[in-house]
Structure formats: structure tokens, C-alpha cells
């Protein structure tokens, strides 16, 4: 009769984390413990705490770890292709869950869900990305258009082209979005100027610019709330 294989040393710790996760609510686990638990799927046994802490030390936050390039993740001691894929799948699931909350419903009536989606999707990007959210007459999302990467000025985003795209889609309103990789979401002079030019072009052709949202690790800024549109 075969002997029962003894449990490895980390079994009890894994069970305790699982119990806390299932019964303790949203704040039951610290960020490094969330990463520990995610990494259990890639490492069938053993302690993943040290690796989780190395990842946080390398990238700075849980969000930044999940948003990191797979090659950068694999470069951390102890990581490999399988463990990097585990973390990227988690990030993908979070994005899709957040996106589902803003689809097929009026964006202006679910503003916090939109901000959550944009933050998950853009706050930890290392490049500046420009997007235009085109809306229909009921302010539902028609298209989330990735305009390009780089500073938001007329060399990267053309007011006439933004409005022409809206006309082609039958859009009546839009929301401009971009991120600041520095983390600080305060608008620059260029941000304000290009927003005002697009808003003016929209007024001439019947497309309303509801807002320009700037996303950063430190939060977000609405140019509409600041009275800049």
C-alpha cells in the first residue's frame, strides 16, 4: 500500500491565505499576499512570499506589477513564462470586468465605473496614450478609439480628424482620455489648448465634448470639473 505523500511546508500557509481571502472581505489580504496567492497557480508548492515582495519592490505597486510587460516580469528572479502569464491573465480579467460595467449603458450615468475602467486600463502605463470615447444620442459607448501614443498635441491628435471620426460613426458626443506616466494627472497647457480646439470644432459640427479625463497613478482630473471646457 502506497504511503501518503507528506504535505509540503507551505501547505498550512496557503490554506490560511485561502481562508482569509474567502471570509475576510476586500481588504483581507495585503498587496504582497494577493500576489502570493495568484502565484500559487504557477507554483504547485513552495513559498511565494519572497517572490511577491521582489515584484512589488521592482515595480512599486500591485497595479504596476499586473500591468508590467511580460518580459519585464520574467526578468525578476524566480519568475518565468508560466508565472508571468498567470499575472497577465489576472490583469486581463480585471480589465474585462471593469469594461463590462461601462458597456451598453449611459456613460454619464455610470461615471465612477468609467473612471474605474480607465484607471485599471491606463494608470500604470509607461507611455502617454490618447483615446477618444465616442457616444451615441443616449450617451452609450459606440467606440473606444485608441488615437495613438505620445504627447497630446496637434502633432499627435488632429481636432478635425477627431470630429470627422465622430461624424462617420454617427456620434453626437465624445470624451477625450489620456494618461500621464509621471503619475500626476494635472493638465498641461497643451492638454487644455487641444481640448478647447476639439470642443470648438465639435460645436461647429454638432458633436459635444463632454469631458477630457486625465489619468495617473495619483488619481484623475476632469477638465470639465475644472471649468476648462
Residues 88, 169: one domain? no
* pLDDT bucket at 11, cuts 50 / 70 / 90: low
Check pLDDT > 90 for residue 224.
yes
18 falls within a domain: yes
- HEC string for the chain: CCCCCCCCCCHHHHHHHHHHHHHCCCCCCCHHHHHHHHHHCCCCCCCCHHHHHHHHHHHCCHHHHHHCCHHHHHCCCCCCHHHHHHHHHHHHHHHHHHHHCCCCCCHHHHHHHHHHHHHHHHCCCCCCEEEEEEECCCCCEEEEEEEEECCCCCCCCCHHHHHHHHHHHCCCEEEEEEECCCCCCCCCHHHHHHHHHHHHHHHHHCCEEEEEEEEECCEEEECCCCCCC
Mean pLDDT to the nearest integer, 89-117: 82
Q: What is the pLDDT of residue 2?
A: 45
4 falls within a domain: no
Q: What is the pLDDT of residue 225?
A: 92
Check pLDDT > 50 for residue 38.
yes
Domain boundary among 69, 98, 127: 98
CATH code of 124's domain: 3.40.140.10
In the chain, the percentage of residues whose pLDDT exceeds 90 is 36
* pLDDT bucket at 221, cuts 50 / 70 / 90: very high
Structural domain containing residue 211 = 111-222
* pLDDT bucket at 154, cuts 50 / 70 / 90: low
Residues 204, 115: one domain? yes
Residues 115, 94: one domain? no
Does the global pTM surpass 0.75? no
* Number of folded domains that form the chain: 2
Check pLDDT > 50 for residue 45.
yes
* pLDDT bucket at 135, cuts 50 / 70 / 90: very high
228 falls within a domain: no
198 falls within a domain: yes
78 falls within a domain: yes
Residues 66, 144: one domain? no
List pLDDT tens digits, range 47-78. 888 999 999 999 988 888 988 888 889 889 99
Residues 93, 130: one domain? no
Least confident segment among 3-17, 32-46, 107-121: 3-17
Residues 86, 130: one domain? no
- Could you count the other beta carbons within 10 Å of the beta carbon of residue 51? 21
Residue, of 13 and 216, whose pLDDT is higher: 216
Domain boundary among 98, 130, 157: 98
Domain boundary among 77, 98, 119: 98
5 falls within a domain: no
List pLDDT tens digits, range 178-197. 999 988 999 999 899 999 99
Residues 134, 186: one domain? yes
1 falls within a domain: no
160 falls within a domain: yes
CATH code of 21's domain: 1.10.150.20
Residues 38, 78: one domain? yes
Amino acid at each position: 500500500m502506497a504511503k501518503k505523500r507528506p504535505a509540503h511546508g507551505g501547505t498550512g500557509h496557503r490554506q490560511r491565505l485561502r481562508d482569509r481571502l474567502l471570509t475576510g472581505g476586500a481588504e483581507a489580504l495585503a498587496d504582497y499576499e494577493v500576489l502570493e496567492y495568484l502565484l500559487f497557480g504557477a507554483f504547485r508548492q513552495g513559498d511565494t512570499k519572497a517572490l511577491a515582495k521582489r515584484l512589488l519592490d521592482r515595480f512599486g505597486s500591485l497595479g504596476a506589477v499586473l500591468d508590467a510587460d511580460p518580459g519585464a516580469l520574467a526578468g525578476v528572479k524566480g519568475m518565468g513564462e508560466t508565472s508571468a502569464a498567470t499575472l497577465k491573465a489576472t490583469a486581463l480579467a480585471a480589465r474585462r470586468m471593469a469594461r463590462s460595467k461601462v458597456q451598453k449603458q449611459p456613460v454619464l450615468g455610470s461615471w465612477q465605473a468609467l473612471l474605474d475602467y480607465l484607471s485599471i486600463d491606463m494608470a500604470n502605463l509607461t507611455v502617454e496614450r490618447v483615446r477618444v470615447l465616442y457616444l451615441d444620442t443616449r450617451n452609450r459607448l459606440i467606440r473606444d478609439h485608441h488615437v495613438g501614443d505620445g504627447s497630446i498635441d496637434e502633432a499627435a491628435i488632429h481636432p478635425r480628424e477627431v470630429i470627422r471620426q465622430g461624424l462617420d460613426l454617427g456620434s453626437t458626443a465624445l470624451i477625450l482620455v489620456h494618461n500621464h506616466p509621471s503619475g500626476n494627472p494635472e493638465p498641461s497647457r497643451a492638454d487644455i489648448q487641444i481640448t478647447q480646439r476639439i470642443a470648438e470644432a465639435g460645436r461647429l459640427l454638432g458633436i459635444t465634448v463632454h469631458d477630457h479625463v486625465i489619468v495617473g497613478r495619483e488619481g484623475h482630473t476632469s477638465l470639465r470639473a475644472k471649468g476648462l471646457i
